[in-house]
Amino acid sequence: MSPGKKLSEIELAKNLSSSRTPIREAFRQLQMEGYISVVPNKGAYVSKLQLNEIEEIYNIVSLLEGYAAELAALKIDNLELNKLRKLQKQLIV
């Protein structure tokens, strides 16, 4: 989502098949972390992040993704491995 975009609790709840309560909780957390700005009686908006913040986020995500892949590789069985190979073949074609 681009900076300044208005966020809708109702739309997000509908898209996520959720009630508005967890969306409100997520908004509070995102506001505390500086990712959104909430304007009373107006709504929530995506905040603009600085380049160094974006780089930090990408670095953390890449570490987490690598670790998740390592854990998955350690736990995969032959059935799941064969499914992955079939999916890979479909992507190559």
Portion of the chain with pLDDT greater than 90, in percent: 95
pTM assigned to the model = 0.62
Q: Cβ contacts of residue 78 below 8 Å, gap of 6+?
A: none
Task: Look up the domain containing 33 and give its range.
Answer: 6-46
Q: Quick one: 65 and 38 in the same domain?
A: no
Q: Terminal CA-to-CA distance of the chain, rounded, Å?
A: 31
DSSP-H helix ranges across the chain: 9-15, 20-32, 51-75, 78-92
pLDDT grade for 1, boundaries at 50, 70 and 90: confident
- Domain assignment present for residue 56? The answer is yes
Q: What is the pLDDT of residues 3-47, one digit of tens each?
A: 999 999 999 999 999 999 999 999 999 999 999 999 999 999 999
Is 1 inside a domain boundary? no
Residue in 2, 16, 8, 85 with CA at minimum distance from that of residue 48: 2
Residue listed under structure tokens 């570490």: 63
**Whether 42 and 59 share a structural domain:** no
* Structural domain total, the chain: 2
pLDDT surpassing 90 at residue 70: yes
Same domain, 17 and 38: yes
